[in-house]
Amino acid sequence: MTPLVEFRSVAKAFGNEKVFEEISFTIVEGESHALLGPSGCGKSTVLRLLAGLDQPNAGKILIEGKLVSDDAKCLVAPHERQLAMVFQDLALWPDLTALENVMLGMAQLKLARSGRRAKALSSLATCGIENLASRKPREASVGQQQRIALARALAGRPKLLLLDEPFSGLDAVIKRKLFQEIETHCVNFGITLLLVTHDSWEATGLCSHAVVIEDGHVAEHGRLCDVLRQPASIILRSFVSQWPSSLMRS
């Protein structure tokens, strides 16, 4: 089966500073992956490379078997990669309302304006913030802004949803509700998830698989319930000490 995502020996440096030298992993369609590792190991960089917002120095990135980046060459533009991303800093347009922000995320759906509006409202409702449709981001709390960014990403019906620590401002009750909505949305619309998080509860609550980056390479990769049996990385060892294995998703 062709993987949805494949990183083949991807290297990335900023100037003389190497982030990683050899990152390789695959994601099969429908498998939700947590991307884990210490701060600064390159998790956001992996998402930006996959989204086409940065280019690797070497290596290949494939989406659905199609080469999208080859060494430093971008072969498929970001807007043609059929993915959506919630950035760590959210990247909302400050002068647009929540509804307008979400509608911008749907440009590629080629719907009439009324259809886009209805779908954008429905996406805001999925994230529990339809009442904020006419507010600008600065008129919303940080947690509400995170949900606007999530609504924008979901509304575009991507094949691949990249989430960069999108839940850090939310309380456990809202997170639980959002997890259910995201899971339903992913199943209904065939969306595959790649979630960056430092939080064991988020990773195990939303993801079936994990990729762990440590010291510039993939330290562990597999089903969470498998890698958590004998964790080799610092981060997964810390998860095991926090959570009983009976709570892990199979």
Ligand X SMILES: Nc1ncnc2c1ncn2[C@@H]1O[C@H](COP(=O)(O)OP(=O)(O)OP(=O)(O)O)[C@@H](O)[C@H]1O
User: Which positions lie near ligand X, rule CB under 6 A?
Assistant: 14, 19, 37, 39-45, 88
CA distance 197 to 203: 7
Which strands form 73-74's sheet, in the order they lie side by side? 73-74, 66-70, 58-63, 5-14, 17-27, 217-223, 209-214, 33-36, 192-196, 160-164, 83-86
Closer by beta carbon to ligand X, 6 or else 165: 165
Distances (CA, A) of 113 to 120, 135, 142, 189: 10, 19, 28, 21
CA distance 144 to 135: 11
Closer by beta carbon to ligand X, 13 or else 172: 13
CA distance 215 to 197: 17
16 binds, among Mg ion, ligand X, none (CB under 5 to 8 A by kind): none
Q: Is 44 in the site for Mg ion (CB under 5 A)?
A: yes
- State in angstroms the smallest separation of the CB of 43 from ligand X: 4
Closer by beta carbon to Mg ion, 44 or else 123: 44
Binding segment toward Mg ion, per CB under 5 A, in 21-29, 82-90, 205-213, 223-231: 82-90
- State in angstroms the smallest separation of the CB of 157 from ligand X: 26
Q: Is 197 in the site for Mg ion (CB under 5 A)?
A: no
- Give the footprint of Mg ion on this chain (CB under 5 A): 44, 88
